[in-house]
Structure 1
Amino acid sequence: MSAIAYFDLTGKTALVTGSSGGLGLAMARGLAEAGAEIVLNGRDADRLAQAAESFGERAGQVHFSVFDVCDEEAIKGAFGRLDNEGRVIDILINNAGVQFRRPMLELESADWRRVLETNLTSAFIMGREAARRMVARGGGGKIINIGSLTSEVARATVAPYTAAKGGIKMLTRSMAAEWAAHGIQANAIGPGYIDTEMNKALTSDANFDAWVKGRTPSGRWGLPKDLVGTAIFLASAASDYVNGQTIYVDGGMLAVL
Protein backbone atom coordinates (compact mmCIF):
# COMPACT_ATOMS: atom_id res chain seq x y z
CA MET A 1 0.00 0.00 0.00
CA SER A 2 1.35 3.43 -0.92
CA ALA A 3 1.81 6.12 1.70
CA ILE A 4 -1.08 8.12 0.29
CA ALA A 5 -3.37 5.08 0.18
CA TYR A 6 -2.96 4.60 3.95
CA PHE A 7 -4.89 7.83 4.47
CA ASP A 8 -7.47 7.39 1.70
CA LEU A 9 -11.02 7.24 3.09
CA THR A 10 -12.76 6.65 -0.24
CA GLY A 11 -15.68 4.25 0.22
CA LYS A 12 -15.93 4.95 3.96
CA THR A 13 -18.77 6.73 5.75
CA ALA A 14 -18.16 8.86 8.83
CA LEU A 15 -20.73 10.07 11.36
CA VAL A 16 -19.54 13.13 13.31
CA THR A 17 -21.65 14.28 16.26
CA GLY A 18 -21.96 17.97 17.04
CA SER A 19 -20.80 18.89 13.56
CA SER A 20 -22.89 21.90 12.54
CA GLY A 21 -19.88 24.07 13.40
CA GLY A 22 -16.61 24.28 15.30
CA LEU A 23 -14.30 21.29 15.69
CA GLY A 24 -16.89 18.80 14.46
CA LEU A 25 -17.43 20.59 11.16
CA ALA A 26 -13.68 21.07 10.63
CA MET A 27 -13.00 17.36 11.15
CA ALA A 28 -15.94 16.39 8.93
CA ARG A 29 -14.56 18.59 6.14
CA GLY A 30 -11.14 17.01 6.52
CA LEU A 31 -12.55 13.49 6.32
CA ALA A 32 -14.58 14.47 3.24
CA GLU A 33 -11.45 15.82 1.55
CA ALA A 34 -9.81 12.43 2.29
CA GLY A 35 -12.66 10.77 0.38
CA ALA A 36 -15.20 9.85 3.05
CA GLU A 37 -18.94 10.22 2.80
CA ILE A 38 -20.14 12.30 5.76
CA VAL A 39 -23.14 12.24 8.08
CA LEU A 40 -23.34 15.46 10.06
CA ASN A 41 -25.25 15.58 13.35
CA GLY A 42 -26.81 18.21 15.56
CA ARG A 43 -30.12 19.36 16.98
CA ASP A 44 -30.81 22.22 14.54
CA ALA A 45 -31.83 21.10 11.04
CA ASP A 46 -31.30 24.56 9.51
CA ARG A 47 -27.73 24.84 10.84
CA LEU A 48 -26.96 21.33 9.62
CA ALA A 49 -28.33 22.11 6.16
CA GLN A 50 -26.15 25.23 5.98
CA ALA A 51 -23.14 23.22 7.18
CA ALA A 52 -23.76 20.60 4.48
CA GLU A 53 -23.95 23.28 1.79
CA SER A 54 -20.63 24.71 2.97
CA PHE A 55 -18.84 21.61 1.61
CA GLY A 56 -19.20 23.09 -1.87
CA GLU A 57 -18.42 20.57 -4.60
CA ARG A 58 -18.33 17.80 -2.00
CA ALA A 59 -21.84 18.61 -0.71
CA GLY A 60 -23.24 15.67 -2.67
CA GLN A 61 -21.44 13.25 -0.37
CA VAL A 62 -22.68 14.98 2.78
CA HIS A 63 -25.85 14.04 4.65
CA PHE A 64 -27.15 15.01 8.06
CA SER A 65 -29.09 13.41 10.88
CA VAL A 66 -30.96 15.54 13.41
CA PHE A 67 -30.98 14.09 16.93
CA ASP A 68 -29.91 14.87 20.48
CA VAL A 69 -26.97 12.78 21.66
CA CYS A 70 -28.38 12.97 25.21
CA ASP A 71 -31.51 11.08 24.13
CA GLU A 72 -30.81 7.33 23.97
CA GLU A 73 -34.00 6.52 22.09
CA ALA A 74 -33.22 9.25 19.55
CA ILE A 75 -29.76 7.74 19.03
CA LYS A 76 -31.23 4.28 18.48
CA GLY A 77 -33.77 5.75 16.08
CA ALA A 78 -31.05 7.55 14.12
CA PHE A 79 -29.01 4.38 13.72
CA GLY A 80 -32.18 2.54 12.71
CA ARG A 81 -32.81 5.11 9.96
CA LEU A 82 -29.23 4.78 8.76
CA ASP A 83 -29.71 1.00 8.66
CA ASN A 84 -32.90 1.40 6.61
CA GLU A 85 -31.09 3.72 4.19
CA GLY A 86 -28.33 1.15 3.78
CA ARG A 87 -25.81 3.64 5.13
CA VAL A 88 -22.96 1.83 6.91
CA ILE A 89 -21.02 3.84 9.49
CA ASP A 90 -17.34 2.91 9.25
CA ILE A 91 -16.07 5.87 11.28
CA LEU A 92 -17.67 7.50 14.31
CA ILE A 93 -16.36 10.73 15.84
CA ASN A 94 -17.92 11.48 19.23
CA ASN A 95 -17.43 15.23 19.20
CA ALA A 96 -20.63 16.67 20.72
CA GLY A 97 -19.96 18.42 24.00
CA VAL A 98 -20.81 21.29 26.34
CA GLN A 99 -18.88 23.31 28.90
CA PHE A 100 -20.19 24.75 32.19
CA ARG A 101 -18.05 26.86 34.50
CA ARG A 102 -19.01 27.05 38.16
CA PRO A 103 -17.14 26.48 41.45
CA MET A 104 -18.00 23.06 42.86
CA LEU A 105 -19.44 24.54 46.06
CA GLU A 106 -22.01 26.33 43.89
CA LEU A 107 -22.54 23.53 41.36
CA GLU A 108 -26.04 22.07 41.04
CA SER A 109 -26.41 18.33 40.53
CA ALA A 110 -28.52 18.90 37.42
CA ASP A 111 -25.69 20.81 35.74
CA TRP A 112 -23.20 18.09 36.73
CA ARG A 113 -25.42 15.44 35.15
CA ARG A 114 -26.03 17.49 32.00
CA VAL A 115 -22.31 17.89 31.31
CA LEU A 116 -21.57 14.22 32.05
CA GLU A 117 -24.43 13.01 29.86
CA THR A 118 -23.47 15.23 26.93
CA ASN A 119 -19.71 14.71 27.02
CA LEU A 120 -19.34 11.15 28.32
CA THR A 121 -22.54 9.11 28.39
CA SER A 122 -23.41 10.07 24.82
CA ALA A 123 -20.01 8.78 23.64
CA PHE A 124 -20.71 5.45 25.32
CA ILE A 125 -24.18 5.09 23.76
CA MET A 126 -23.10 6.28 20.31
CA GLY A 127 -20.04 4.03 20.45
CA ARG A 128 -22.08 1.04 21.56
CA GLU A 129 -24.63 1.43 18.75
CA ALA A 130 -21.92 1.90 16.13
CA ALA A 131 -19.83 -1.01 17.45
CA ARG A 132 -22.80 -3.39 17.53
CA ARG A 133 -23.13 -2.90 13.79
CA MET A 134 -19.40 -3.03 13.13
CA VAL A 135 -19.14 -6.34 14.99
CA ALA A 136 -22.21 -7.82 13.30
CA ARG A 137 -21.03 -7.11 9.76
CA GLY A 138 -17.31 -7.81 10.35
CA GLY A 139 -14.55 -5.74 8.89
CA GLY A 140 -13.99 -3.53 11.92
CA GLY A 141 -14.30 0.23 12.14
CA LYS A 142 -12.95 3.38 13.74
CA ILE A 143 -14.25 5.18 16.81
CA ILE A 144 -12.69 8.53 17.70
CA ASN A 145 -13.67 10.15 20.98
CA ILE A 146 -12.90 13.79 21.72
CA GLY A 147 -11.14 14.29 25.01
CA SER A 148 -9.37 17.37 26.33
CA LEU A 149 -6.36 18.58 28.25
CA THR A 150 -8.65 17.88 31.22
CA SER A 151 -8.42 14.18 30.38
CA GLU A 152 -5.06 14.55 32.15
CA VAL A 153 -5.11 17.71 34.29
CA ALA A 154 -7.69 19.78 36.15
CA ARG A 155 -8.60 23.44 36.34
CA ALA A 156 -10.81 25.17 38.86
CA THR A 157 -14.51 25.76 38.04
CA VAL A 158 -14.84 23.02 35.37
CA ALA A 159 -15.21 19.90 37.54
CA PRO A 160 -17.99 18.18 35.54
CA TYR A 161 -16.16 18.77 32.26
CA THR A 162 -12.92 17.48 33.79
CA ALA A 163 -14.64 14.37 35.15
CA ALA A 164 -16.29 13.73 31.77
CA LYS A 165 -13.11 14.15 29.75
CA GLY A 166 -11.14 12.03 32.19
CA GLY A 167 -13.86 9.45 31.68
CA ILE A 168 -13.44 9.73 27.90
CA LYS A 169 -9.81 8.62 28.25
CA MET A 170 -10.80 5.48 30.15
CA LEU A 171 -13.92 4.82 28.06
CA THR A 172 -11.65 4.85 25.00
CA ARG A 173 -9.37 2.27 26.63
CA SER A 174 -12.37 0.15 27.58
CA MET A 175 -13.65 0.23 24.01
CA ALA A 176 -10.22 -0.93 22.80
CA ALA A 177 -10.09 -3.69 25.41
CA GLU A 178 -13.47 -5.13 24.38
CA TRP A 179 -13.64 -4.41 20.65
CA ALA A 180 -10.09 -4.66 19.29
CA ALA A 181 -10.58 -8.38 18.62
CA HIS A 182 -13.34 -7.38 16.18
CA GLY A 183 -11.02 -5.10 14.19
CA ILE A 184 -12.31 -1.91 15.79
CA GLN A 185 -9.83 0.80 16.73
CA ALA A 186 -11.01 3.20 19.43
CA ASN A 187 -8.81 6.21 20.10
CA ALA A 188 -9.23 9.76 21.35
CA ILE A 189 -8.04 13.23 20.43
CA GLY A 190 -7.30 15.63 23.28
CA PRO A 191 -7.47 19.20 21.95
CA GLY A 192 -5.62 21.96 23.73
CA TYR A 193 -7.03 25.48 23.85
CA ILE A 194 -8.74 25.90 20.49
CA ASP A 195 -10.18 29.15 19.15
CA THR A 196 -13.84 28.18 18.70
CA GLU A 197 -17.23 29.73 19.41
CA MET A 198 -17.44 27.65 22.61
CA ASN A 199 -14.26 29.35 23.87
CA LYS A 200 -15.18 32.87 22.79
CA ALA A 201 -15.43 34.08 26.41
CA LEU A 202 -11.87 32.90 26.96
CA THR A 203 -10.32 34.18 23.73
CA SER A 204 -11.83 37.62 24.34
CA ASP A 205 -10.44 37.79 27.89
CA ALA A 206 -7.09 39.60 27.53
CA ASN A 207 -5.57 38.03 30.65
CA PHE A 208 -6.62 34.50 29.74
CA ASP A 209 -5.54 34.98 26.14
CA ALA A 210 -2.08 36.03 27.35
CA TRP A 211 -1.94 33.07 29.74
CA VAL A 212 -2.76 30.55 26.98
CA LYS A 213 -0.18 32.02 24.60
CA GLY A 214 2.45 32.18 27.33
CA ARG A 215 1.72 28.70 28.66
CA THR A 216 1.69 27.00 25.24
CA PRO A 217 5.12 26.33 23.69
CA SER A 218 3.67 27.03 20.24
CA GLY A 219 2.71 30.49 21.49
CA ARG A 220 -0.80 30.54 20.07
CA TRP A 221 -4.32 29.19 20.35
CA GLY A 222 -5.06 26.12 18.29
CA LEU A 223 -7.38 26.34 15.30
CA PRO A 224 -10.07 23.79 14.36
CA LYS A 225 -8.00 22.81 11.30
CA ASP A 226 -5.17 21.71 13.62
CA LEU A 227 -7.22 18.61 14.55
CA VAL A 228 -7.88 17.51 10.97
CA GLY A 229 -4.66 15.59 10.34
CA THR A 230 -4.97 13.61 13.56
CA ALA A 231 -8.62 12.84 12.80
CA ILE A 232 -7.75 11.54 9.32
CA PHE A 233 -4.91 9.43 10.75
CA LEU A 234 -7.18 7.84 13.37
CA ALA A 235 -9.96 7.29 10.82
CA SER A 236 -7.70 5.64 8.27
CA ALA A 237 -5.77 2.43 7.70
CA ALA A 238 -2.64 4.27 8.87
CA SER A 239 -3.79 3.70 12.47
CA ASP A 240 -4.86 0.06 12.20
CA TYR A 241 -2.51 -1.01 15.03
CA VAL A 242 -3.16 2.03 17.23
CA ASN A 243 -5.79 1.36 19.88
CA GLY A 244 -6.91 2.83 23.19
CA GLN A 245 -4.69 5.89 22.84
CA THR A 246 -5.29 9.59 23.44
CA ILE A 247 -3.34 11.92 21.16
CA TYR A 248 -3.03 15.47 22.51
CA VAL A 249 -3.13 18.24 19.95
CA ASP A 250 -2.21 21.06 22.28
CA GLY A 251 0.79 22.97 20.93
CA GLY A 252 2.95 21.27 23.55
CA MET A 253 1.09 22.53 26.63
CA LEU A 254 1.05 19.21 28.48
CA ALA A 255 4.75 18.66 27.76
CA VAL A 256 6.00 21.54 29.92
CA LEU A 257 5.63 22.89 33.44
Structure 2
Amino acid sequence: MIDSPITLTPQYDRVIVTGGGSGIGRSVALALAATGAHVYVLGRRMPRLEKTVELGTGLNGEITPIACDIRRAEIVDEVFTRIEADDGPAPLLYHSAAAAYAALAEDITPAGFFKVVNASLIGAFHVIHRWGTGLIAAGLPGAAVAVTSALASRETPGIAHSSASKAGVEGLIRSMSREWGRYGIRLNALGPGPFPSEGTNDLWEHDSIRNRMERTTALGRYGTEAEIVGPSLFLLSKYAAYITGVSLQVDGGLRLASYTVHSPEEVAQQTATT
Protein backbone atom coordinates (compact mmCIF):
# COMPACT_ATOMS: atom_id res chain seq x y z
CA MET A 1 0.00 0.00 0.00
CA ILE A 2 1.31 3.45 -0.92
CA ASP A 3 2.14 5.65 2.04
CA SER A 4 0.16 8.85 1.54
CA PRO A 5 -0.73 11.94 3.62
CA ILE A 6 -4.10 12.05 1.87
CA THR A 7 -7.23 11.18 3.82
CA LEU A 8 -10.62 10.34 2.36
CA THR A 9 -11.76 13.96 2.61
CA PRO A 10 -9.79 17.21 2.57
CA GLN A 11 -9.12 18.56 6.04
CA TYR A 12 -9.42 22.23 6.90
CA ASP A 13 -8.91 23.69 10.35
CA ARG A 14 -8.42 27.43 10.78
CA VAL A 15 -8.35 29.52 7.62
CA ILE A 16 -7.82 33.22 6.98
CA VAL A 17 -9.72 34.57 3.96
CA THR A 18 -9.03 38.11 2.79
CA GLY A 19 -11.65 39.79 0.64
CA GLY A 20 -14.20 37.61 2.44
CA GLY A 21 -16.94 40.21 2.26
CA SER A 22 -17.85 39.67 -1.39
CA GLY A 23 -17.24 37.75 -4.59
CA ILE A 24 -14.88 34.81 -4.77
CA GLY A 25 -13.57 35.41 -1.25
CA ARG A 26 -17.05 35.15 0.22
CA SER A 27 -17.89 32.01 -1.78
CA VAL A 28 -14.69 30.28 -0.67
CA ALA A 29 -15.17 31.36 2.95
CA LEU A 30 -18.66 29.87 3.02
CA ALA A 31 -17.47 26.64 1.39
CA LEU A 32 -14.69 26.32 3.97
CA ALA A 33 -17.13 26.95 6.82
CA ALA A 34 -19.38 24.25 5.40
CA THR A 35 -16.55 21.74 5.90
CA GLY A 36 -16.39 22.65 9.59
CA ALA A 37 -13.46 25.06 9.45
CA HIS A 38 -13.09 28.15 11.59
CA VAL A 39 -12.83 30.89 8.98
CA TYR A 40 -11.54 34.39 9.72
CA VAL A 41 -12.93 36.68 7.03
CA LEU A 42 -10.96 39.90 6.56
CA GLY A 43 -11.98 43.03 4.71
CA ARG A 44 -12.24 46.79 5.03
CA ARG A 45 -16.04 46.97 5.30
CA MET A 46 -17.49 45.27 8.37
CA PRO A 47 -21.11 45.28 7.09
CA ARG A 48 -20.02 43.11 4.15
CA LEU A 49 -18.18 40.73 6.44
CA GLU A 50 -21.21 40.52 8.70
CA LYS A 51 -23.29 39.60 5.65
CA THR A 52 -20.90 36.70 5.04
CA VAL A 53 -21.42 35.61 8.64
CA GLU A 54 -25.19 35.82 8.14
CA LEU A 55 -25.03 33.72 4.98
CA GLY A 56 -22.99 31.16 6.90
CA THR A 57 -25.59 30.67 9.60
CA GLY A 58 -26.20 26.97 10.16
CA LEU A 59 -22.98 25.78 8.55
CA ASN A 60 -20.76 23.29 10.39
CA GLY A 61 -17.93 25.73 10.98
CA GLU A 62 -17.50 29.19 12.47
CA ILE A 63 -16.98 32.49 10.68
CA THR A 64 -15.26 35.34 12.50
CA PRO A 65 -15.33 38.77 10.80
CA ILE A 66 -12.35 41.09 11.31
CA ALA A 67 -12.00 44.54 9.79
CA CYS A 68 -8.57 44.84 8.18
CA ASP A 69 -7.01 47.30 5.74
CA ILE A 70 -4.33 45.18 4.07
CA ARG A 71 -2.68 48.30 2.65
CA ARG A 72 -1.32 49.07 6.13
CA ALA A 73 1.29 46.64 7.43
CA GLU A 74 0.77 47.62 11.07
CA ILE A 75 -2.94 46.82 10.89
CA VAL A 76 -2.24 43.46 9.22
CA ASP A 77 0.20 42.68 12.02
CA GLU A 78 -2.37 43.59 14.68
CA VAL A 79 -5.02 41.40 13.07
CA PHE A 80 -2.75 38.38 12.69
CA THR A 81 -1.55 38.78 16.28
CA ARG A 82 -5.19 38.69 17.37
CA ILE A 83 -5.85 35.54 15.35
CA GLU A 84 -2.73 33.86 16.69
CA ALA A 85 -3.89 34.57 20.23
CA ASP A 86 -6.84 32.19 19.65
CA ASP A 87 -4.87 29.02 19.02
CA GLY A 88 -1.60 29.91 17.34
CA PRO A 89 -1.05 30.81 13.67
CA ALA A 90 -3.76 29.80 11.21
CA PRO A 91 -2.26 27.09 8.97
CA LEU A 92 -4.26 28.09 5.88
CA LEU A 93 -4.58 31.37 3.99
CA TYR A 94 -6.79 32.31 1.04
CA HIS A 95 -5.88 35.77 -0.22
CA SER A 96 -8.40 37.26 -2.65
CA ALA A 97 -8.47 40.95 -1.69
CA ALA A 98 -7.54 43.30 -4.54
CA ALA A 99 -8.55 46.46 -6.36
CA ALA A 100 -9.27 47.07 -10.04
CA TYR A 101 -11.05 49.40 -12.42
CA ALA A 102 -11.15 49.67 -16.19
CA ALA A 103 -9.04 52.41 -17.80
CA LEU A 104 -6.77 52.79 -20.79
CA ALA A 105 -3.11 53.16 -19.90
CA GLU A 106 -3.00 56.79 -21.04
CA ASP A 107 -5.83 57.60 -18.66
CA ILE A 108 -4.30 55.95 -15.58
CA THR A 109 -2.84 58.56 -13.27
CA PRO A 110 0.14 57.89 -11.00
CA ALA A 111 -2.25 58.10 -8.06
CA GLY A 112 -4.63 55.61 -9.70
CA PHE A 113 -1.80 53.23 -10.51
CA PHE A 114 -0.51 53.37 -6.94
CA LYS A 115 -4.01 52.82 -5.54
CA VAL A 116 -4.37 49.54 -7.42
CA VAL A 117 -0.81 48.34 -6.82
CA ASN A 118 -1.01 49.28 -3.15
CA ALA A 119 -4.14 47.20 -2.58
CA SER A 120 -3.37 44.33 -4.96
CA LEU A 121 0.39 43.79 -4.76
CA ILE A 122 1.74 45.56 -1.68
CA GLY A 123 -1.31 44.42 0.29
CA ALA A 124 -0.68 40.85 -0.84
CA PHE A 125 2.89 41.07 0.44
CA HIS A 126 1.72 42.41 3.81
CA VAL A 127 -0.73 39.52 4.25
CA ILE A 128 1.33 36.62 2.87
CA HIS A 129 4.55 37.75 4.55
CA ARG A 130 2.90 38.20 7.97
CA TRP A 131 1.10 34.85 7.70
CA GLY A 132 4.21 32.97 6.60
CA THR A 133 6.61 34.46 9.11
CA GLY A 134 4.15 33.65 11.88
CA LEU A 135 4.19 29.99 10.87
CA ILE A 136 7.98 29.95 10.50
CA ALA A 137 8.43 31.41 13.99
CA ALA A 138 6.12 28.75 15.41
CA GLY A 139 7.77 25.93 13.44
CA LEU A 140 4.50 25.01 11.70
CA PRO A 141 3.66 24.05 8.10
CA GLY A 142 0.91 25.71 6.10
CA ALA A 143 -0.68 26.33 2.72
CA ALA A 144 -1.72 29.54 1.00
CA VAL A 145 -3.56 30.42 -2.19
CA ALA A 146 -3.41 33.89 -3.75
CA VAL A 147 -6.04 34.83 -6.32
CA THR A 148 -4.44 36.42 -9.38
CA SER A 149 -5.74 36.32 -12.96
CA ALA A 150 -5.73 33.96 -15.91
CA LEU A 151 -4.45 36.94 -17.93
CA ALA A 152 -1.62 37.84 -15.55
CA SER A 153 0.98 36.76 -18.11
CA ARG A 154 -0.82 38.19 -21.16
CA GLU A 155 -1.62 41.57 -22.62
CA THR A 156 -4.63 43.07 -20.88
CA PRO A 157 -5.83 46.33 -22.45
CA GLY A 158 -7.86 48.37 -20.04
CA ILE A 159 -6.39 47.03 -16.81
CA ALA A 160 -2.63 47.58 -17.11
CA HIS A 161 -2.39 48.56 -13.44
CA SER A 162 -4.23 45.45 -12.28
CA SER A 163 -2.26 43.25 -14.70
CA ALA A 164 1.02 44.55 -13.31
CA SER A 165 -0.17 43.83 -9.77
CA LYS A 166 -1.36 40.30 -10.51
CA ALA A 167 1.84 39.43 -12.36
CA GLY A 168 3.76 40.75 -9.36
CA VAL A 169 1.76 38.57 -6.98
CA GLU A 170 2.54 35.50 -9.08
CA GLY A 171 6.24 36.37 -8.97
CA LEU A 172 5.98 36.80 -5.21
CA ILE A 173 4.31 33.40 -4.87
CA ARG A 174 6.95 31.63 -6.97
CA SER A 175 9.84 33.16 -5.04
CA MET A 176 8.35 32.65 -1.58
CA SER A 177 7.33 29.07 -2.36
CA ARG A 178 10.93 28.28 -3.33
CA GLU A 179 12.26 29.81 -0.12
CA TRP A 180 9.62 28.52 2.29
CA GLY A 181 9.32 24.96 1.04
CA ARG A 182 11.95 23.94 3.57
CA TYR A 183 9.55 24.99 6.32
CA GLY A 184 6.73 22.86 4.95
CA ILE A 185 4.88 25.92 3.69
CA ARG A 186 3.16 25.69 0.29
CA LEU A 187 2.11 28.74 -1.74
CA ASN A 188 0.19 28.68 -4.99
CA ALA A 189 -1.65 31.16 -7.19
CA LEU A 190 -5.08 30.66 -8.68
CA GLY A 191 -5.92 32.60 -11.83
CA PRO A 192 -9.62 33.05 -12.56
CA GLY A 193 -10.75 33.83 -16.08
CA PRO A 194 -14.03 35.65 -16.69
CA PHE A 195 -15.87 35.32 -13.39
CA PRO A 196 -18.23 38.31 -13.07
CA SER A 197 -18.66 39.22 -9.42
CA GLU A 198 -19.07 42.27 -7.26
CA GLY A 199 -16.04 44.46 -7.84
CA THR A 200 -15.21 43.10 -11.31
CA ASN A 201 -18.49 43.48 -13.20
CA ASP A 202 -17.31 46.68 -14.87
CA LEU A 203 -14.50 44.68 -16.50
CA TRP A 204 -16.86 42.15 -18.12
CA GLU A 205 -20.35 43.62 -18.48
CA HIS A 206 -19.94 45.44 -21.81
CA ASP A 207 -21.86 43.65 -24.60
CA SER A 208 -18.94 43.63 -27.06
CA ILE A 209 -16.63 42.17 -24.41
CA ARG A 210 -19.23 39.54 -23.54
CA ASN A 211 -19.59 38.57 -27.21
CA ARG A 212 -15.82 38.41 -27.67
CA MET A 213 -15.54 36.25 -24.55
CA GLU A 214 -18.06 33.79 -25.98
CA ARG A 215 -15.96 33.48 -29.13
CA THR A 216 -12.65 33.36 -27.26
CA THR A 217 -13.22 31.09 -24.27
CA ALA A 218 -13.21 27.42 -25.18
CA LEU A 219 -16.32 26.73 -23.09
CA GLY A 220 -18.05 29.78 -24.53
CA ARG A 221 -19.35 31.24 -21.31
CA TYR A 222 -18.51 32.99 -18.08
CA GLY A 223 -17.54 30.93 -15.07
CA THR A 224 -19.56 30.96 -11.88
CA GLU A 225 -18.18 31.62 -8.43
CA ALA A 226 -19.14 28.07 -7.46
CA GLU A 227 -16.81 26.75 -10.18
CA ILE A 228 -13.78 28.36 -8.58
CA VAL A 229 -14.52 27.03 -5.10
CA GLY A 230 -13.45 23.46 -5.91
CA PRO A 231 -9.99 24.35 -7.29
CA SER A 232 -9.52 26.76 -4.38
CA LEU A 233 -10.25 24.15 -1.72
CA PHE A 234 -8.14 21.60 -3.58
CA LEU A 235 -5.01 23.78 -3.44
CA LEU A 236 -5.54 24.32 0.30
CA SER A 237 -6.15 20.63 0.98
CA LYS A 238 -3.90 17.66 1.65
CA TYR A 239 -4.77 16.44 -1.83
CA ALA A 240 -2.36 19.14 -3.05
CA ALA A 241 0.36 18.27 -0.54
CA TYR A 242 3.01 18.01 -3.29
CA ILE A 243 2.01 21.12 -5.23
CA THR A 244 3.71 24.45 -4.61
CA GLY A 245 4.77 27.47 -6.62
CA VAL A 246 2.25 26.98 -9.42
CA SER A 247 -0.40 29.20 -10.97
CA LEU A 248 -3.56 27.22 -11.68
CA GLN A 249 -5.66 28.90 -14.35
CA VAL A 250 -9.41 28.40 -13.97
CA ASP A 251 -10.53 30.13 -17.13
CA GLY A 252 -12.74 27.91 -19.26
CA GLY A 253 -9.94 27.68 -21.82
CA LEU A 254 -9.45 31.43 -22.25
CA ARG A 255 -5.67 30.91 -22.30
CA LEU A 256 -6.04 28.80 -25.47
CA ALA A 257 -7.14 31.79 -27.53
CA SER A 258 -4.82 33.79 -29.75
CA TYR A 259 -6.27 37.11 -28.58
CA THR A 260 -7.64 38.53 -25.37
CA VAL A 261 -11.19 39.31 -24.36
CA HIS A 262 -10.60 43.05 -24.08
CA SER A 263 -9.60 45.37 -26.90
CA PRO A 264 -8.47 49.00 -26.49
CA GLU A 265 -11.44 50.23 -28.56
CA GLU A 266 -13.97 48.38 -26.41
CA VAL A 267 -12.38 49.60 -23.21
CA ALA A 268 -12.44 53.20 -24.48
CA GLN A 269 -16.13 52.87 -25.33
CA GLN A 270 -16.91 51.24 -22.00
CA THR A 271 -15.07 53.75 -19.84
CA ALA A 272 -16.65 56.64 -21.76
CA THR A 273 -20.11 55.46 -20.74
CA THR A 274 -19.42 54.65 -17.08
The normalised TM-score by structure 1 is 0.93
Give the conservation status (yes or no) of the 8 Å contact 1:140–1:184: yes
Give the conservation status (yes or no) of the 8 Å contact 1:202–1:209: no
Is structure 2 residue 14 aligned with structure 1 residue 7? no
Give the conservation status (yes or no) of the 8 Å contact 2:149–2:192: yes
Which residue of the partner structure matches residue 172 of structure 1?
A: 173
Which residue of the partner structure matches residue 33 of structure 1?
A: 34
Range 219-228 or range 34-43, more displaced: 34-43
Give the conservation status (yes or no) of the 8 Å contact 1:26–1:224: yes
- Secondary structure at the aligned position of 1:198 is classed as coil
Residue by residue, what CA displacement relative to the aligned partner does 1:194-221 show, whole Å, maximum 9, x if unpaired? Answer: 0212232344322111111211111110
Residue by residue, what CA displacement relative to the aligned partner does 1:19-52 show, whole Å, maximum 9, x if unpaired? Answer: 1110100111222223321001111112211211
Which residue of the partner structure matches residue 93 of structure 2?
A: 92
C-alpha distance in 2, partners of 1:59/1:92? 19
- Secondary structure at the aligned position of 2:100 is classed as coil
C-alpha distance in 1, partners of 2:60/2:35? 14
Write the letter of the residue equivalent to 2:11. D
The normalised TM-score by structure 2 is 0.88
Give the conservation status (yes or no) of the 8 Å contact 1:151–1:168: no
| Shift in Å, 1:149 | 2.1
Write the letter of the residue equivalent to 1:18. G
Residue by residue, what CA displacement relative to the aligned partner does 1:122-166 show, whole Å, maximum 9, x if unpaired? Answer: 111111111111112223101111110231112212111111111
Is structure 2 residue 136 aligned with structure 1 residue 135? yes
**Which of structure 1's runs of 4+ aligned residues deviate more than 6 A?**
none
Which residue of the partner structure matches residue 264 of structure 2?
A: none
Which residue of the partner structure matches residue 63 of structure 1?
A: 64
Give the conservation status (yes or no) of the 8 Å contact 2:93–2:145: yes
Q: CA RMSD in A?
A: 1.7
In the alignment, structure 2 segments of 5+ residues that lack a partner are 259-274
Change (3 A) 1:57 1:48: same
C-alpha distance in 2, partners of 1:81/1:112? 32
C-alpha distance in 1, partners of 2:116/2:205? 23
Give the conservation status (yes or no) of the 8 Å contact 2:89–2:131: no
Change (3 A) 1:148 1:203: closer
Write the letter of the residue equivalent to 1:217. A
Write the letter of the residue equivalent to 1:130. W
- Secondary structure at the aligned position of 2:154 is classed as coil
- Please list, as runs of the form range in 1=range in 2, the aligned pairs for 1:237-248 lying within 5 A after superposition: 237-248=238-249
- Secondary structure at the aligned position of 2:151 is classed as helix
Change (3 A) 1:75 1:92: same
C-alpha distance in 1, partners of 2:109/2:203? 23
Change (3 A) 1:2 1:243: closer
Which residue of the partner structure matches residue 17 of structure 2?
A: 16
Is structure 2 residue 216 aligned with structure 1 residue 194? no
* Number of equivalenced pairs: 255
